[in-house]
Amino acid sequence: MKNRYAHRSRVSEKKIREIVRYFATDLTAVQSAQLSGLNRNTVNRFYRALRERILWACEAQRPMFGIIEVPSRRCRHRLPGNG
């Protein structure tokens, strides 16, 4: 049976959905590994992949990196060393 979430993975789709559920409830990778019965490093790998997917989705909506110009009249705070 083909796993639609992870290519060539030994982790079942059910376990991956379980990991995503734990990620959404803000559990750590260690807690998630204990509850799911998977290795901590495996859960860490899935957590990292989830964070990357979230980053890609956010960047697709609005790029985070680039040149941002701020008009000088809006910068009213003084920097240290500028008198």
Evaluate if residue 80 carries a pLDDT over 60.
no
Residue 70 within a domain? no
Residue 71, pLDDT score: 61
Q: Which residue has the higher pLDDT, 37 or 64?
A: 37
**Structural domains counted in the chain:** 1
Residue 17 within a domain? yes
Residue 5, phi-psi category: left (phi > 0), alpha (psi -120 to 50), beta (remainder): alpha
Q: Which residue has the higher pLDDT, 6 or 30?
A: 30
Evaluate if residue 69 carries a pLDDT over 80.
no
Residue 77, pLDDT score: 53
Mean residue pLDDT of the chain comes to: 80
Residue 42 within a domain? yes
Residues spanned by the domain of 36:
13-61
> CA 57, CA 71: separation in Å to the nearest integer?
29
Residue 54 within a domain? yes
Distance (Å) of CA 40 to CA 31, 54, 59, 74, 82: 9, 21, 28, 48, 50
Evaluate if residue 78 carries a pLDDT over 60.
no
Residue 18 within a domain? yes
Q: What is the mean pLDDT of residues 40-67?
A: 84
